[in-house]
Amino acid sequence: MTGALTSAYEPIYRRSIEAPESFWAEVAEGVAWEKTWDRVLESDRAPFYRWFVGGRLNTCYNAVDRHVEAGHGDRDAIIYDSAMTGTKRRITYRALQKEVAVFAGALRNLGVGEGDRVVIYMPMVPEAAIAMLACARLGAVHSVVFGGFAPKELAKRIDDAQPKLLVSATCGLEPNRTIAYKPLLDEAIEASVHKPEHCVILRRAECDATLVDGRDVWWDDAITGVEPAACVTVEATDPLYVLYTSGTTGVPKGVLRDNGGHAAALAWSMKTVYDIGPGDVFWAASDIGWVVGHSYIVYGPLLAGATTVMYEGKPVGTPNPGAFWRIIEDYKVKVLFTAPTAFRAIKRDDPECTYLEGHDIASLKYLFLAGERCDPDTLNWARDVLHVPVIDHWWQTETGWAMAADCAGLGLLPVKDGSPTKPVPGWDLRVLADDGTEVAAGTIGNIVVKLPLPPGALPTLFHNDEGYRKSYLSHFPGYYETSDAGYMDEDGYVYIMSRVDDIINVAGHRLSTGGMEEVLSGHPDVAECAVIGVADPLKGEVPVGLVVLKAGHDRDEAGIAKELVGRVRSTIGAVAAFKRVLIVRQLPKTRSGKTLRNVMRAIADGKEPAIPATIEDVTVLGEISKAFSRETVGDAR
C-alpha cells in the first residue's frame, strides 16, 4: 500500500450513499435544464427507478451548443487522427455545432423525429460522433453497432431496435485490409424482418459502394441545402440511446440509457473520476461501437467542455508500438483511457519501451485502464515507463460509468495492487454469498450494487422490463447483480477476481482464475495470459493456463512453462491443482479487448464454441484447438 491519504473521497462517498437525492440534485445543477425536475428519484415502480422525473433538457445542447453560447466556440471539440489514412483534423465546438445541426436537419428531412430509432454502423470517423449527436439533437434514439459486425448480428439489432433509418459508411479500415461495410449492411437488411426506410452512406475514398434506389443516399447529398435543426427538448427519462450487448440466449440485450441521469452523471464523472475540465484533452482509445466510446469518446468529454481524441488505428502495427506516444505528444493529451490489452500488446512487442524514446509525453497526467481485469504486472509496467499514476477502474456496459475507481478529481487514495480502489460515489457495492448474505471482508463472493442504481446506469432494457428483472435483479432481490466475483478488504478496497462463471470448483474448492492469472503475469517473460477451468473426471474442474510470451525472449518454452506451474503452486498452493501451461501466439479476443475464456473453455472440453460476432481474429481459434490437442507444454503431472 503506497501513497498518502489526501483525498476528499470519504465524506463525498458517505453523502452519496446516505443522502442520494440531495447529492444527485446538487450534481445535476451542472447540467443545463430547460425545466428542472419535479422529483429527483421516483421509486413508485421499484425495482424500476427513474431519476429527475419531470425534468426537461437536450443532451446535444449540453454537449455542444451551450459551450458555443458560453464563448468557447473556438475551442477544439474533436481531434481526429487516422493512422490508417494519415488524416488529421481538428473540429471546434462552433464547427461541430454547425455540422451536427445540418446532419440533424438531413435526418429530419428523411423522416426521423423524436423517439424514432436510428442504427449507426460506422468506422472511427468524426461523422460517427456527428450522427450520434444529431440523433440526440432531434430527440431520436441512436443505436450504434460496431462497424464490420456480421450481417446476422446486425440483422438481430435492426429487428429489435426497428430503426427508421440507418447511417453507415462504404468501409472501415484495419491494418493491411479494407472492410467493405455496404455489402454487409445490404445482407443484414435482406435478412431482417424490419426494413428501414432509408440508409445514409458516408463515401470514403478507400472504397466505393452501390446504392439501392429509393432507399440509400450519400451523406454529402443528404446534407446539401439542408436547413439546420434546432435542439428538441425531451424528458429526462426519455431514452438517449440503446446499446446492445450479447445475451446468453443469443438474443442481444438492448441496454437503455436515459437523457437526464446520463448527462448529469457523465459530466460529473469527467471531473471527479478523471480530473478533466473545460479545455483539457482526453483520449479514450476505444471505438464508438462500445460503451467506452459512447461515454468517453463522445458524451463525457463534450459534456465537460473538454477536447476528445478520436483515433483510427491500433496500439501496435499502425505503424509500430509507439503509436500511443505520438498521439499523446501531438495533441498534449492529459488523460489516456484504454484497455489493459492495449498495454499488454505494447509490452509484448516493445518490452523495453524503446519506441517511447524521443517522444515528449509530459502532458500526460494519468493513465486509466478498464474493460477487463488488469493484472498488477501490466499496471506496474505501465507505471514504470510512463511515470504517472496508472488507475485501474471497473465498470460495465450496463452501468455506463465507473463503479470502482481511484477518483483523480477527489485526490488519489493509497494504491493497492490488484484493486480498482474503492466504490465511486453513488455506487453502494456489496459482496454476497450465493444465499444472499453478506460475506466477511476478504471473502470471495458475488459483487452486487444495492438499489437504486445511480444516474447514468441503465434504468431497464429496451422494450424488455422482464428481461432486465430476470438478467440483473432476480437472483439477489434489492440488488443489481454484476455477475463479477471478487471481494472487499477490511479497508473497503474492491478486488475483481473474475466473472462469476470463471470461479472454478476444483475438488470442492472455489478458486478464482483471476488470482492464478495474476501469478502467471508476474513472470518476466509473460506478455499476457488467461486461465480457464476445464472438465476433469476426478476433480470436476482443473485450471489450464494459456500464455503469450514477450517478443524477443530467448529461453526454452518448456522451461518457462514449468516455472509458471511452479509459481502458481507455490503461491496459491497444491489445492489449485495447476499443472498445465500452453504457450500460444495470441489469445482470442473481442474487438474491445476482452479475452474469450468461454470460447477457449468450450474448445478444451471438446464442445462446439459459440463464437461471438465481435471476435477480432477467428483464425486464432485454430491455434488454440491445436494447443489443446498436442502434448501439453509444461505438464507437471
β-pair partners for 82: 312
Which residue in 344, 359, 345, 280 sits closest to 317, CA to CA?
Answer: 345
Assign 502 to helix, strand or coil: helix
* 3-class SS letters over 329-357: HHHCCCEEEECHHHHHHHHHHCCCCHHHC
* 3-class SS letters over 371-435: CCCCCHHHHHHHHHHHCCCEEECECCCCCCCCCEECCHHHCCCCECCCCCCEECCCCCEEEECCC
* Tens digit of each residue's pLDDT (9 = 90 or more) over 79-129: 999 999 999 999 999 999 999 999 999 999 999 999 999 999 999 999 999
pLDDT surpassing 70 at residue 636: no
Our measurement of the distance from residue 481's CA atom to the centroid of its chain's CA atoms, rounded to an integer in Å, reads: 18
pLDDT surpassing 80 at residue 75: yes
Strand 165-169 with 117-121, pairing: parallel
Can you give the pLDDT at residue 165? 98
Comparing 274-288, 296-310, 574-588, which segment has the lowest mean pLDDT?
574-588
* Burial tier of 98 (Cβ tally within 10 Å: 0-12, 13-18, 19+): middle
Q: Are 314 and 165 in contact (CB under 8 A)?
A: no
Dihedral through CA 423, CA 427, CA 428, CA 429, nearest 10?
Answer: -50
Q: Are 131 and 169 in contact (CB under 8 A)?
A: no
* Tens digit of each residue's pLDDT (9 = 90 or more) over 355-373: 999 999 999 999 999 987 7
Length of the chain: 637
Which residue in 165, 164, 102, 157 sits closest to 134, CA to CA?
Answer: 102
Determine what percent of the chain is predicted with pLDDT higher than 70. Answer: 95
Distance CA 564, CA 578 (A): 9
β-pair partners for 174: 177
Question: Cβ neighbours of residue 625 under 8 Å, at least 6 residues apart?
Answer: 603
* Tens digit of each residue's pLDDT (9 = 90 or more) over 183-231: 999 999 999 999 999 999 999 999 999 999 999 999 999 999 999 999 9
Q: What is the gyration radius of the CA atoms in the chain, in angstroms?
A: 24
Domain residue limits, the chain:
9-419+428-487, 507-629
Cell triple for residue 299?
Answer: 458524451
Question: In this predicted model, which residue has the larger pLDDT, 496 or 72?
Answer: 72
Cell triple for residue 268?
Answer: 460529473
The sign of the dihedral angle between the CA atoms of 480, 423, 403, 136 is: positive
pLDDT surpassing 80 at residue 526: yes
Q: Are 479 and 450 in contact (CB under 8 A)?
A: yes
For the segment 270-287, the average pLDDT, to the nearest whole number, is 97
pLDDT surpassing 90 at residue 293: yes
Distance CA 539, CA 577 (A): 9
Distance CA 428, CA 424 (A): 8
Which residue in 410, 480, 408, 422 sits closest to 446, CA to CA?
Answer: 480
For the segment 226-246, the average pLDDT, to the nearest whole number, is 96
If residue 571 lies in a helix (H) or strand (E), which one and from where to where? helix 557-571
Which CATH number is 507-629's, of 3.10.20.90, 3.10.20.30, 3.30.300.30, 2.60.120.10?
A: 3.30.300.30
pLDDT surpassing 70 at residue 298: yes
Cell triple for residue 283?
Answer: 483520449
Q: Are 545 and 520 in contact (CB under 8 A)?
A: yes
Cell triple for residue 352?
Answer: 523495453
Question: Cβ neighbours of residue 45 under 8 Å, at least 6 residues apart?
Answer: none
Q: Are 274 and 368 in contact (CB under 8 A)?
A: yes
Which band of pLDDT confidence, cut at 50, 70 and 90, is reported for residue 609? confident
Can you give the pLDDT at residue 503? 65
DSSP designation for 498:
E
Which band of pLDDT confidence, cut at 50, 70 and 90, is reported for residue 266? very high
Can you give the pLDDT at residue 2? 43
Top-level CATH class of 9-419+428-487?
A: alpha beta
Cell triple for residue 155?
Answer: 440483422
* 3-class SS letters over 573-612: CHHHCCCEEEECCCCCEECCCCECHHHHHHHHCCCCCCCC
Strand 366-369 with 390-392, pairing: parallel
For the segment 401-412, the average pLDDT, to the nearest whole number, is 98
Question: In this predicted model, which residue has the larger pLDDT, 5 or 31?
Answer: 31
Assign 626 to helix, strand or coil: helix
* Tens digit of each residue's pLDDT (9 = 90 or more) over 469-487: 999 999 999 999 999 989 9
Strand 429-432 with 509-512, pairing: unpaired
For the segment 335-354, the average pLDDT, to the nearest whole number, is 92
Distance CA 534, CA 603 (A): 9
Distance CA 467, CA 605 (A): 30
Q: Are 373 and 395 in contact (CB under 8 A)?
A: no
* Tens digit of each residue's pLDDT (9 = 90 or more) over 49-69: 999 999 999 999 999 999 999
DSSP designation for 317:
S
Comparing 117-126, 141-150, 268-277, which segment has the lowest mean pLDDT?
141-150
Assign 327 to helix, strand or coil: helix
Strand 234-235 with 56-57, pairing: antiparallel
Can you give the pLDDT at residue 3? 42
Residue with cell 432494457: 461
Can you give the pLDDT at residue 37? 98
Q: What phi, psi does 152 have (nearest 5°)?
A: -60, -45
Distance CA 115, CA 614 (A): 28
Position 195: which residue type? K
Q: What phi, psi does 400 have (nearest 5°)?
A: 80, -20
For the segment 38-52, the average pLDDT, to the nearest whole number, is 97
Give this prediction's pTM. 0.85
Cell triple for residue 475?
Answer: 437472483
Can you give the pLDDT at residue 263? 98
pLDDT surpassing 70 at residue 510: no
Distance CA 188, CA 154 (A): 6
Dihedral through CA 263, CA 268, CA 269, CA 275, nearest 10?
Answer: 140
Residue with cell 489450464: 544
Determine what percent of the chain is predicted with pLDDT higher than 90. Answer: 74
Q: Are 270 and 408 in contact (CB under 8 A)?
A: no
Distance CA 361, CA 523 (A): 28
